[in-house]
Amino acid sequence: MAFKVQPLGYSDQLIHMEVQPCSGASSFYCSFVYVHNTANERKGLWDDLRGYKRNYEGPWLLMGDINCVLDYRERLGSMLETEDAHNSLLQIQKELQDNPSNSELCTKERKVTELYKKKLHCYVQFLQQEARIKWLQEGDDNTALFYRSLRAQRLRYNLYTIHNMQGLLQQDPDSGLLMWGEDSKF
């Protein structure tokens, strides 16, 4: 299927266009979005979308990366699903203790264990991503300390003076402090 596309507007978070199927079917509007992460940065997008809604009538398809949730509980969905799977697993295992020869319960336990492992893996990945984002935004209090100690350590390992094989103090870096010669005894 082919389409004619007419761009109608764009911003840093949105491309809005009219799409006309070449088959003669009814046209529709389409907006592709990549929404910023913070509410303050998203305000402009919502204003743009409201403006398009006022100015254009007809079917409208909105797609892209929204990066936000309507309700905070949606964000916690991964944790709640993981807890539900864990509780189901515990319940099945309790039933298995009472009836260990029940093959149906054994099969169910294997399936729920796999589901729990998948949910737990997704939840751990979510937490790791949250931690990375927080670290990138706020930095690490130990970073400055680490680099200060690294600089101090590098200064300790620099040679500023050295005694040659005759016991004379050498301070000139161009004098060949670490040259190997006849009097080198190693």
Q: Each residue of 67-116: pLDDT tens digit?
A: 655 555 555 556 778 888 899 999 999 999 999 999 999 999 999 999 99
Q: Which token pair is 47? A: 């204003």
The pLDDT value recorded for residue 174 is 56
Rounded Cα–Cα distance for residues 11 and 58 (Å)? 22
The pLDDT value recorded for residue 40 is 75
CB-CB neighbours of 10 under 10 Å: 13
Contact 41, 7 (CB under 8 A): no
**Percent share of the chain, pLDDT over 70:** 79
Give residues with Cβ within 8 angstroms of 109, minimum separation 6: 89, 92, 93, 96
The DSSP call for residue 3 is E
Residue 158 has pLDDT above 90, yes or no: no
Q: What is the pLDDT of residues 27-61, one digit of tens each?
A: 999 999 988 766 677 888 888 988 988 988 899 99
Contact 58, 27 (CB under 8 A): yes
Q: Which token pair is 103? A: 């093959």
Rounded Cα–Cα distance for residues 143 and 149 (Å)? 10
Q: What is the mean pLDDT of the chain?
A: 80
Classify residue 20 as left (phi > 0), alpha (psi -120 to 50) or beta: beta
What residue type is assigned to position 85 of the chain?
A
Please provide the DSSP assignment of 41-107 as one string: HHHHHHHHHHHHHHH--S-EEEEEE----SSHHHHTHHHHHHHHHHHHHHHHHHHHHH-TT-HHHHH
